[in-house]
């Protein structure tokens, strides 16, 4: 683990303000994380060191920056900051840990905060943060909070539920039945809210279900770098609304990687851990039913290169000798190739 550049937090606070602005500016405008996209390796290493210094101050901004950088080595340090975090930073650090690890367990303290008697602004932030999780405990807490006495807690709870369910847009003000049940100051009618939630959930699930949804949900939980790739590639899509396109996109990236390995230096190649992805898929694919398997072959396998014997040979080497390789070979035979 890189050593921090100072121990009193001075260097971190100076870099934080130079990069993102004052606390008020961060609150008002959010974090401009796109500023980090152009960092070279040396600059990235320096930012990681500064963020580790920020974590010693339990600063949630440091955790979010590390998550944006995909700095998985920093998880133990973020975990320590999480265990010491005050309510005003706890929810943001939990989301950073969820993004880096894919684990829903970090939701538990956020759920407790949402159900607490803390100030409504802290509970609203907890409701917003739970949109990054998908476990049943988080969903149950959000459904309760949809009838919270505080209006903005209700709004953020509903927005998070819409996000989890894959509703587009994840904005309760655009969902007339649900917004009608929660809008206004004071107490909402819990029975009306419950009925509206049930209606929207059922409708959304009918709209977004896809034969590969189950495999997709497992992938973005077990392999969070794939979820990050999808968000970068298709920022306008909620994760469930184009599940087939998700797998076709992944297949296209593997095709680009194969072309890159074959000498096409113009082919854009994402820095994905293909060994890990292939091993994970080899474990999961045998559990798919016939419909799921056919869809997977159509969207992922058929996106891979078959045109030349060299492409086919390298594809087989990358896919190994398991379920994926067998699917690839079956497709090659179906197309009359070697």
> Do 254 and 204 have their domain in common?
no
Is 235's pLDDT higher than 60?
no
Once rounded to an integer, what is the mean pLDDT over residues 182-210?
81
Helix 87-101 vs helix 120-129: crossing angle, to nearest 10: 0
The residue among 155, 178, 208 that closes a domain is 208
Task: Evaluate whether 11 touches 18 at the Cβ level (below 8 Å).
Answer: no
Which residues 6+ apart lie within 8 Å of 160 measured at CB? 127, 128, 129, 130, 131, 142, 170
Q: How many domains does the chain have?
A: 3
How would residue 205 be classed by pLDDT, with cut points 50, 70 and 90? low
Q: Give me the domain span that covers residue 314.
A: 213-334
> Do 270 and 244 have their domain in common?
yes
Q: What string of DSSP letters covers 25-67?
A: HHHHH---GGGGTT--HHHHHHHHHHHHHHHTTT-HHHHHHHH
> Do 107 and 81 have their domain in common?
no
Spatial separation of the C-alpha atoms in residues 5 and 110, rounded to whole Å: 31
CATH number assigned to the domain comprising residue 150: 1.25.10.10
> Do 241 and 160 have their domain in common?
no
Angle at 22 between CA 17 and CA 24, to 5 degrees: 160
> Do 329 and 217 have their domain in common?
yes
Is 207's pLDDT higher than 60?
no
> Do 239 and 270 have their domain in common?
yes
> Do 226 and 325 have their domain in common?
yes
> Do 254 and 182 have their domain in common?
no
The residue among 173, 208, 243 that closes a domain is 208
Q: Is the pTM of this model over 0.75?
A: no
98 belongs to a structural domain: no
The residue among 208, 226, 247 that closes a domain is 208
Q: What is the pLDDT of residues 41-100, one digit of tens each?
A: 899 999 999 999 999 999 999 999 999 888 888 999 999 999 999 999 999 999 999 888
How would residue 4 be classed by pLDDT, with cut points 50, 70 and 90? very low
């Amino acid at each position: 683990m890189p050593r921090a550049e100072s121990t009193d937090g001075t260097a971190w606070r100076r870099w934080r303000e130079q990069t993102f602005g004052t606390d008020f500016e961060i609150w008002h405008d959010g974090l401009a994380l796109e500023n980090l996209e152009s960092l070279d390796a040396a600059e990235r290493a320096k930012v990681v060191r500064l963020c580790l210094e920020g974590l010693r101050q339990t600063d949630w901004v440091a955790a979010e920056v590390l998550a944006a950088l995909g700095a998985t080595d920093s998880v133990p340090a973020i975990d320590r900051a999480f265990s010491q975090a005050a309510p005003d930073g706890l929810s943001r650090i939990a989301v950073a840990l969820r993004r880096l690890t894919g684990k829903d367990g970090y939701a538990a303290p956020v759920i407790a905060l949402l159900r607490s008697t803390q100030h409504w602004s802290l509970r609203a932030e907890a409701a917003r943060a739970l949109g990054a999780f998908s476990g049943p405990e988080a969903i149950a807490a959000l459904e309760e909070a949809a009838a919270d006495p505080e209006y903005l807690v209700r709004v953020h709870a509903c927005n998070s539920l819409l996000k989890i369910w894959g509703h587009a847009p994840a904005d309760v003000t655009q969902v007339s039945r649900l917004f009608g049940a929660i809008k206004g100051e004071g107490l909402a009618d819990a029975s009306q809210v419950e009925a509206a939630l049930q209606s929207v959930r059922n409708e959304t699930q009918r709209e977004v279900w896809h034969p590969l949804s189950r495999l997709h949900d497992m992938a973005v939980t077990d392999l969070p770098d794939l979820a990050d790739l999808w968000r970068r590639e298709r920022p306008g899509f909620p994760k469930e609304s184009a599940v087939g396109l998700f797998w076709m996109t992944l297949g296209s990236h593997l095709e680009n990687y194969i072309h890159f390995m074959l000498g096409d230096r113009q082919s854009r190649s994402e820095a994905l851990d293909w060994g890990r992805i292939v091993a994970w898929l080899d474990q999961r694919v045998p559990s798919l039913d016939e419909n799921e398997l056919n869809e997977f072959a159509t969207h992922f396998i058929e996106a891979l290169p078959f045109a030349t014997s060299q492409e086919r040979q390298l594809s087989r080497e990358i896919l190994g000798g398991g379920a994926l390789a067998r699917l690839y070979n079956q497709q090659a035979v179906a197309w009359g190739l070697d």
